[in-house]
Chains A and B, each alone.
Chain A
Amino acid sequence: MNNIQPLRGEISIITRMTADTTLFTLSTKPEYEVASSFLPGQFLELSLPGVGEIPVSYCGFPSNNGTIELCIRHIGHVTNAIKSSAKGDYVGLRGPFGRGFPIDTYGGMDMLLVAGGLGIAPIRSLLLNLLFVRKRYGRIRVVYAARASRLLLFLDELLDFKKNGIIELLLAVDSLAVGEKKNPDCRIALLPALFEEMKIEPEKTFTAVCGPSVVYPRIITSLQNLGVSDDRIHISLERRMKCGIGRCGHCAIGEYLCCLDGPVFSVAELSGVEGGIA
């Protein structure tokens, strides 16, 4: 782990996902070996020279060839500037930081992965980890919603997994665009509606959730109604994690620091913590 010093990475592939979201594949130099040793749900600090540094969730699988995938929405100071970056451009990398999804505890369990919007990024990382040793887990269900069909990220990949029968996939969008045909694989509904007719075995299910924090209360209630206990609902929180190492003071949630104690928390851990779940 490199805590302080940003190490050299290079943008090797740029994939435009939507009008405001891009998948960057980075290649890293040998000194940055940790590229292959992160846990899904952890984050790194990405530097863009002359612009600044931001926390970003890993969205891919830990590779052994030093590549890192980051799915970035262009809505902030650094993320807007990186939009005009080109292949071969330098980026600085620190990390991995934080506590990811506890995949060790997931062995033998059914997995229910829940993503809203850009929240698919760390959820995809978790999914790829689960699929790497698919036999180790029971059913894997992915519940994923976005505002519109064109905003569903990694859709082809997810549909492929579904077609191959290795995951079950429930998709939803808020609404259809004018003239858009309804896709039989995708409901028109808000995310919590996807849980309405779901049957799960709560005693052998873990859930992992990432999405905009405003939808967390409803998602958590839905999962609780399905019988999932709070210690089995793992959610990823967003905060201003400036330094990544528990020093800058920006990301406290109650007495936790999101960058060290999170960003993945169980709902049980957040019970009674003011401002934890919006």
Chain B
Amino acid sequence: MIGKGLLQGLAVTARNLVGSYHDPDRYTTIEYPEVKPALPEAYRNFPFLVAEKAEDPLGTLRCVACQICEKECPPQCIYIVMDRDEKGKARMKPKVFDIDTSVCMSCQICVEVCPFDAIKMDQVFEIATDERFNALLLHRDQLAKTNTYFHQIHPTEAAEVDARLAAEKKAAEEKAKAAAAAKAASAKPAPAAPANPTPPPAPAP
């Protein structure tokens, strides 16, 4: 009958009107500045540098200023200067670590190439500033954030990184121990060296 479809349409809109007041599945609006959206764990935008300790973030950066990320960065938004002592010997940490977020395209390549898990992706998306150049150029003191923070924003990835780092550290310690033992054994004249074989190296993660 003519008009049945019209009434069905009116019923649909009426259901939406009433449902939007009590059904959260219908009413999906988040009133953003007051209510922050719950970001998915895999959400990422700009990189940050992982530091071990909150009280001394710049001193405990994992970054060793190897400059791989600087070379790999497609838009070349990373700038690193190695920290050196008076004799010109590298201190294995960055003196300058800048990321220009106006250039960064959030590709995560820096994170993928970093052999030290020192640079990871952040979740801070409210980066609007009233200044065009310097405010968007982040320095290492702004970039340094603790491992605890990393655990908060990306728990799965952080746990995996921590487990791998712990395993590597353990393997390195055991290797050092074995090397020390082997050294001690070779220093001794005793011929019992094959009786104390070195443990197999830990499998590469």
A, B: real partners:
no
Binding site for B on A (CB under 8 A): none
Binding site for A on B (CB under 8 A): none
